Amino acid sequence: MSPSGPIDVEIRFLDPPKDGSIPHAVVPASGPPQENYSAVAHKVSLTDLRGHESEYNLDKDAFAVFQNVPSAMTYESWDSDETVKTTYYREVEDLLFKTVPGTHKVVIFDHTIRRYNPEADRQPVVFAHVDQTPKAAELRVREHVKDPEEVERLLAGRYRIINVWRPLNGKVESMPLAFATASSVAPEDLSTIERRYPHYTGETMGVKYNPNQKWLYWSGVDNDERILIKCSDTREDVARRVPHSAFVDPRSTESSRPRESIEILRLSRLHFCRAEFCSWRVAELEKQVQPDSIAIYIFALRFLQRQRPIAGTLYQKEEA
């Protein structure tokens, strides 16, 4: 049975470099990232939005939740790349057509499926973050649209990145997803984190703790439910992004079902959208755990979802 109701949990937040330098992680071709920042755990009170789903939307809150989303995918279906491409891709398209007004085209170009095991190098991020910065969102458009004229036309309008999240193996009983209300997160709570790879530098956002932040979760998310979390939006009169994090639910037990989930990111512009299936690194999770939290970390690993994220990008055009 999935835990529900309000709960106090620990979420890890960004502790920026003491010297005032830009937070960054040097990501080598092999081996764990080398970070110049740390993460610090704070106690956070989570409100369960179960039963209040209709009160939230993307423009007002930077997230939305949907129920009774049809799917032909079975548990075994996720083992087949072909089935994912022919069946789940279409389901994602249908969801976006129905929930994002003005959508008239969706293109998905790649995917990767990963599964959790104790030695896996990808895990849920137990760290308050936003997946993309505005600069990173623009770079995604330039990277995946090959026609220069189309790129400039797309960048001239509104675009945004939205995560589409769902479990694969039934109701989430451990390591749920928490997200903050956009209106409670001040601009100064966010800090760009550079991801310095050998051939390019990407950007995400870390979240600094502020007691004024209000955090939520959706208890018992099931296979027919979806969470949409906005990471970036160029329109300034709407909620533009919402931090999120996995968390260890102290009510979970050894018999709790390990979560398996897909997080799809869609970058959208008022003429263009992208979505990408995300993944996580155990090495990064280890770096975020302080010595006094090792017991909690080991406990978390016992219940970590067999993470099977799909990596890829989804584009769609929207009417203005």
The pLDDT tens digits of the residues spanning 310-319 come to 333 333 333 3
Q: Rounded CA gap, 100 and 87, in Å?
A: 20
Residue 257 is predicted with a pLDDT of: 55
Q: Is the CB of residue 228 less than 8 Å from the CB of residue 98?
A: no
Residue 193 is predicted with a pLDDT of: 97
In a domain, 49, yes or no: yes
Question: Which residues contact residue 23 at a Cβ distance below 8 angstroms, ignoring those fewer than 6 apart?
Answer: 14, 16, 17, 35, 36, 37, 191, 192, 193, 194, 206
Instruction: Map tokens 């950007």 to a residue.
Output: 203
Average pLDDT over residues 62-74: 94
Q: How many domains does the chain have?
A: 1
Residue 102 is predicted with a pLDDT of: 55
Question: What sections of the chain are H helices per DSSP?
Answer: 58-61, 81-83, 89-99, 134-144, 148-155, 282-288, 294-303
CATH of the domain at 45: 2.60.120
In a domain, 160, yes or no: yes
In a domain, 263, yes or no: yes
Average pLDDT over residues 29-37: 92
Residue 138 is predicted with a pLDDT of: 87
Average pLDDT over residues 101-109: 56
- Which of 162-176, 189-203, 253-267 shows the lowest per-residue confidence on average (mean pLDDT)? 253-267
Residue 222 is predicted with a pLDDT of: 92
Structural domain for 26, as ranges: 7-318
In a domain, 95, yes or no: yes
Each residue of 252-283: pLDDT tens digit? 766 555 555 545 444 444 333 333 333 333 33
In a domain, 2, yes or no: no
Tokens linked to 83 = 């089935």
| Packing angle of the helix pair 134-144, 148-155 (nearest 10 deg) | 150
pTM of the model: 0.76
Question: Which residues contact residue 4 at a Cβ distance below 8 angstroms, ignoring those fewer than 6 apart?
Answer: 48, 50, 219, 220
